[in-house]
Chain A
């Protein structure tokens, strides 16, 4: 795993690029560890409070530890009318955790999200931001078994 200092330094030439630095950190860690947040604040010359304010504003950024795979259920209107509730229930049942929780083995975190712009194939879930189309509740175990 890359050192977060290097990850941040890699984005430092981008003016105002702290969100890009957060993305780089999350690409490795799936969340922003406290030490990394402090370092990013220092590198971009803003207070820790301000950096924390940015990190907690955006729903795709997290300062809480998350699993190796983030499973997101889209619950916007097109997915809602296509049966998102039943898919979410199947995900929670299969993994044994609720929304915002991580499985005991640290593998999966379940989150809700709003429209991800793949409405040609609703309902849609994403696993680490890659969309899975036309998901039926009975497909969930097979889809998630592909992530080791």
Chain B
């Protein structure tokens, strides 16, 4: 089974900045249709398509929109382009290949919730994408494609936590990017306190195709409960370290051995981490799992952002996980104690084990701490940070125990 390209069908065949190019391949027809519909019918159509958030949380997009009170005078559409999950660059690819679909998707959301202003929050690591998007917005406005809907592009400045929707909102407001307590959720009180829909780039970019081809068409692609396609980025010890768009019922083994071209340098497979650095490590025995949200959840893993990091037999799991723990220690915003202290101590204990100075007690404490962080952290950062640690202790415990004193 090969790729199925929907969002990336015209990759490298059209200029992503040009609204005219996009219109030539059928662009902005979805927005036209959306604007001809009643708001409720439009939201129902998106609900019916089964489209779920592509940023990692997997929440039904139409459902999210339905929480926005229709009578609020001002509402915002916010696009999360802060893909900081290591190993992930699918949102960059979507922008570099098909930026206009993102803009159209945001305008469709605007039509559904009654908003005329959208913000794209682009990570600070992508200044060239910010430029591309500003040109794309200008092209769309000049072509009259967006109508009254305006889009402003803002750039982050290197903070992983801003991928969390309320931290992202704080950052757009010009504050430190620290997550808010929920509720209220952004749908009720988001950017500058007004109802706001925050969706991922890939989620927005699906919308034009759903509107044009119909909810049933989308619902019929891939996995039943997480339909559509997913853009994956392959990294690590793999022959084809690049991006692919696949239906969501695509199996992990095929991602690695069909599209990925198998292991590099003829080495054997050891583990794969899906969903970015906060994802679980998956052993060989679970490779026949489809990549969709629920199937990955059932094996204790997560689809997350769709990053796929493949490690061969020579890789040191404990060293890799220690490096990952350093990432979380660095990126924890410090607002809540379980995450701030937890990521610090986790890195401290893992470093000790990795250096051959750790004991069995450290391993026990790591697992206790992991549980606390998962349950007590304020946002997804601290909640997900223990996943790579716990999953590797579960499946690769011998790699830890052989380093203990």
Chain A contact residues, CB within 8 Å of chain B: 14-20, 22-23, 44, 46, 53-54, 57-61, 75-78, 80-82, 113-122, 126, 129-130
Given contacts A17-B154, A58-B156, 12 further A-B contacts (CB under 8 A): A14-B154, A20-B154, A76-B87, A77-B323, A78-B309, A82-B236, A113-B158, A114-B327, A117-B126, A119-B86, A120-B89, A129-B127
- In whole angstroms, how far apart are the Cα atoms of A78 and B323 in the complex? 10
Chain B contact residues, CB within 8 Å of chain A: 83-89, 92, 123-128, 152, 154-160, 171-177, 192, 233, 235-237, 241-243, 273, 277, 307, 309, 311, 315, 320, 323-324, 326-327, 330-331, 333
Interface centre among A14, A46, A76, A116 (most CB of B within 10 A): A76
B83, B158, B307, B324: the one contacting A58 at CB < 8 Å is B158
B86, B126, B176, B242: the one contacting A77 at CB < 8 Å is B86
Contact A114 B124 (CB under 8 A): no
A59, A60, A75, A115: the one contacting B87 at CB < 8 Å is A115
What are the residues of chain B within 8 A of A116 when measuring CB–CB?
Answer: 125
Contact A44 B241 (CB under 8 A): no
What are the residues of chain A within 8 A of B158 when measuring CB–CB?
Answer: 58-61, 113-114
Task: For residue A147, give the distance in angstroms from its CB to the closest CB of chain B.
Answer: 17
Contact B242 A16 (CB under 8 A): no
- In whole angstroms, how far apart are the Cα atoms of A129 and B156 in the complex? 13
Q: Which residue of chain B is the closest to A18 with respect to CB atoms?
A: B174
Contact B236 A81 (CB under 8 A): yes
Q: Which residue of chain B is the closest to A27 with respect to CB atoms?
A: B127
Task: For residue B340, give the distance in angstroms from its CB to the closest CB of chain A.
Answer: 14
A19, A78, A82, A118: the one contacting B154 at CB < 8 Å is A19
Contact A53 B277 (CB under 8 A): no
Task: For residue B191, give the distance in angstroms from its CB to the closest CB of chain A.
Answer: 9
What are the residues of chain A within 8 A of B154 when measuring CB–CB?
Answer: 14, 17, 19-20
Sorted nearest first, the 10 A-B pairs with minimum C-beta distance are A58-B157, A76-B86, A16-B174, A60-B158, A115-B86, A117-B89, A59-B158, A57-B176, A78-B235, A119-B235
Contact A54 B175 (CB under 8 A): yes
Q: Given A19-B171, A53-B176, A117-B92: A58 and B87 within 8 A (CB)?
A: no
What are the residues of chain A within 8 A of B88 when measuring CB–CB?
Answer: 115, 117, 119
Contact A54 B126 (CB under 8 A): no
Give the secondary structure class of A's interface: loop
Contact A20 B320 (CB under 8 A): no
Task: For residue A79, give the distance in angstroms from its CB to the closest CB of chain B.
Answer: 8
A23, A58, A122: the one contacting B177 at CB < 8 Å is A58
- In whole angstroms, how far apart are the Cα atoms of A119 and B307 in the complex? 10
Q: Which residue of chain B is the closest to A61 with respect to CB atoms?
A: B157
What are the residues of chain B within 8 A of A17 when measuring CB–CB?
Answer: 154, 174
- In whole angstroms, how far apart are the Cα atoms of A115 and B160 in the complex? 9
A–B complex contacts, Cβ < 8 Å, 13 sampled:
A15-B173, A19-B157, A23-B124, A54-B176, A59-B158, A61-B158, A76-B87, A117-B88, A117-B123, A119-B88, A119-B89, A120-B243, A122-B235
Contact B171 A114 (CB under 8 A): no
What are the residues of chain A within 8 A of B156 when measuring CB–CB?
Answer: 19, 58
What are the residues of chain B within 8 A of A61 when measuring CB–CB?
Answer: 157-158
- In whole angstroms, how far apart are the Cα atoms of A17 and B155 in the complex? 10
Q: Given A77-B273, A114-B86, A115-B87: A23 and B236 within 8 A (CB)?
A: no
- In whole angstroms, how far apart are the Cα atoms of A50 and B333 in the complex? 16
- In whole angstroms, how far apart are the Cα atoms of A59 and B123 in the complex? 12
Task: For residue A41, give the distance in angstroms from its CB to the closest CB of chain B.
Answer: 11
What are the residues of chain A within 8 A of B127 when measuring CB–CB?
Answer: 129
Q: Given A16-B174, A114-B84, A114-B86: A60 and B157 within 8 A (CB)?
A: yes
Task: For residue B343, give the distance in angstroms from its CB to the closest CB of chain A.
Answer: 13
What are the residues of chain B within 8 A of A53 when measuring CB–CB?
Answer: 176
Interface centre among B86, B173, B243, B327 (most CB of A within 10 A): B86
Task: For residue B386, give the distance in angstroms from its CB to the closest CB of chain A.
Answer: 16
